[in-house]
Amino acid sequence: MISTMTPDTQNTNEQLPVSSERTFPAAPFPRKHIHSMFNDRQDALRAVQALRAGGYNAQDIHILTNSDYVEAVGQGQTLFSSLTATDLDTYQDASRRGCTMLAVRLWSYKQMEQVRDLLAPHHAHLVKYIDTWTVAQLLP
């Protein structure tokens, strides 16, 4: 668990009903998660609000600013262990351009389309479902 907070993380957590402590998921990805990127941080925050209104728990929603993402990858977090080198590079490039990553833990395969439909109106891109043996592109 990482307990330090960047100013971006602190600002994000002050605006959302999520934990105020910066942490990465306890269970390593890739266990039924959707990864997505947002060019505009406010779009990512609105997507989190839509997910919460849709019944998703704050503990299952992980938002990472560009500095958080780069730090997590640099530390070798298991959060990204299932991504192919190409996917990892794609997400890192988007993060370096200032995009915000949003990852959502799913509890059933049926939730995949629901989450995609909640993220799409908020301009999510690079939306992928990642599971132990499955990677599915949901939105370009």
The angle at the Cα of 38, spanning 50 to 127, to the nearest 5 degrees, equals 80
Residue by residue, pLDDT tens for the chain (140 residues) are 333 344 454 444 445 555 444 555 554 444 678 999 999 999 999 999 999 999 999 999 988 887 777 677 666 655 566 677 777 788 888 888 889 999 998 888 889 999 999 999 999 999 998 877 777 788 77
End-to-end CA separation in angstroms for the chain: 31
The candidate with the shortest Cα–Cα distance to 37, out of 47, 28, 27, is 47
- What the block records as the tokens of 50 is 């839509």
Domains of the chain: 32-139 (3.30.70.3450)
pTM above the 0.75 mark?
no
φ/ψ bin of 55: left (φ > 0), alpha (ψ from -120 to 50), beta (otherwise): left
